[in-house]
Every structure is written in C-alpha cells, then in structure tokens.
Amino acid sequence: MDYVSALVPPFVMAAFFIALVVTIVKTQGGANKAKEDAAVDAVIANAEATRQPGK
C-alpha cells in the first residue's frame, strides 16, 4: 500500500490546481471587468507619466 500513499499527494495537488484554474477562468470578465480594466489602465498611465520626465 506504499504506492497508494505515494500517489495521493500528487493527485490531491493536481485536483486543487485544476480547481484553481477553473476558478480563475470563471472569474474573468463579468460585471467587474470594466472596473478592473479601468484600474489597470490607471496604474499603467500613472507609471508611464512618472517615467516620462526621467528620459
């Protein structure tokens, strides 16, 4: 039965990883997509604005 105890952890980790990927894929988009995109755009614009004077 040593082979069973050796195989359980990888299968459990694989199941959690698959669940994580499924959760990430399901939460993409939706009602908050525009808000999230606006927040990312604001951070990128802020980073570019602070980098400009240093040229």
pLDDT score of 41: 93
Is residue 54 predicted with pLDDT exceeding 70? Answer: no
pTM listed for this prediction = 0.50
Total count of domains within the chain: 1
- pLDDT band for 52, please (50, 70, 90 cuts): low
Full domain range(s) for residue 19: 2-54
Mean pLDDT in residue range 31-39: 83
Is residue 18 predicted with pLDDT exceeding 60? Answer: yes
Encode 11-49: b = buried (16+ Cβ within 10 Å), e = exposed. eeeeeeeeeeeeeeeeeeeeeeeeeeeeeeeeeeeeeee
Q: How far is CA 50 from the centre of its chain?
A: 26
